[in-house]
Every structure is written in C-alpha cells, then in structure tokens.
Amino acid sequence: MKGHDVVHMTVPGVPSPSTGPLLRALAPADFLTLANASCGTAAIFLCLNSIEAHAHDAFLVGAFLLLPLALLLDLADGTLARRSHRSSPFGADLDSLADVISFGVAPAVLGFTLGLRGGWDMLILTYFVVCGVSRLARFNVTAAALADASTGKVKYFEGTPIPTSIAIVLILGVAVYLGRTEEQLWFGSLRLGPATLHPLSLLYAASGSAIISATLRIPKP
C-alpha cells in the first residue's frame, strides 16, 4: 500500500512520467501495483461472465481468489517500495487508482452479481465506491500533513483503509459456499417505496461510511 504508507519524493535519475517513457518511469513496486489493478479488473470480468452464465460457479471462484491476491499484491508493493528506495508521487497515485478498482469497484460488482440488484442496493453500492474514491483522493492531498516529519511515514489512518473491504468479500464468499445468494440472500429483501432493498447491502453502507470517517483514526503500526 504505497499510497497509504509514505510521503514520496521523486528519485533522482528516474525519468518523470510526464517527461519520459512511461515504462522507464515505473519503479519495481509499480509493477506489483499494476498486477493488483489487473486482479481487480479480471475479477470484475469474471463477475460479468457469471451473470451472463446465470450460474455462480467457476467464474466466481476465480473472482474470490483474485481479490485476496490483489490484497497481497497491495501489501507487497509497499514493502518493495520501502526496501528498494524507489518510489514517487506517481507510484502513490497509481496505488490509489489500483485500490479503487480492486477494493472499491470489484467488491461492489461482486455484491451486485450475487443478488444485490434492487434499486436501493445499487444506490448503496454506488455510495460505497464513491466513498472509496473520495477517501483516496483526500489521502493523496493530505498525506504530507499526516506524515511524521522525521520518517515521512503516515502516523495513522484517517478512516478505515479501503482494502478493509476485503472483509465484505470474505462474507460474500461464505454466502456463496452456503448457497445464500440471489433469492436466498441473508436477511431477505424489503420493498421500500419505489425500489427494493436487501438489508445485506447495508454492509457496504457501513464500510463506506467508515472509510470516509474523519473522526475514526487508526494508529498505523
């Protein structure tokens, strides 16, 4: 999680993405970040295949494997960036964009795939993604103020980090294993006004609210 650990400075001798070839500007850790984004994107495609096939089978197994892999890659890119001492503001922004895909859009699409397709569900899923985007944007512009002056490391998380949405993915994995999808979703569904709400979607509302919380401060180890 490069974008959540350290305030980065441009490394001398490393081409700037705005002035040189993009591939030459990528640090080794950035390739792990791109792999993270690739896992999230592939998981979305697998969810779409599952909807088209009208079956929650091998397609979803792939999605459930790819999203935890994305989390491992997200952790690994930060470790590699610190050890190689090759990181930059470009890498931090790249990390945030990858996280939006893998821990924002992909979990929302997964929920939709498993049956959260009511009008209120879709509003909540959209809220969840928007919270993730907003949180990462806020971090990118406030990281310097949150960082320790001596180490450059961020002292605490303001709101829960967006990768914590992997907890929702794990809960949905249990639902699939137990056959509690579509009409069998936990807590059923409610008709509220013009649209349907599955109470299970409130997990996304709670996660999104925690992500953008300005008062929830989690010390960073």
Cβ–Cβ < 8 Å for 78, 4: yes
Would you state the pLDDT for residue 187?
Answer: 95
- Choose among 87, 114, 111, 105: nearest CA to 14: 87
Q: What are phi and psi of 153, to 5 degrees?
A: -90, 145
pLDDT of residue 9: 40
Tens of pLDDT, residues 28-80: 888 899 999 999 999 999 999 998 887 767 889 999 999 999 999 999 987 88
What is the per-residue pLDDT for 110? 97
Total-model pTM: 0.84
Judge contact between 194 and 183, C-beta under 8 A: no
Low-confidence stretches of the chain (pLDDT < 50) are 4-14
> Distance (Å, rounded) from C-alpha 42 to C-alpha 61?
12
Set out the domains of the chain in order of their start, with CATH numbers: 2-11+22-219 (1.20.120.1760)
Interatomic CA distance for residues 38 and 76, integer angstroms: 15
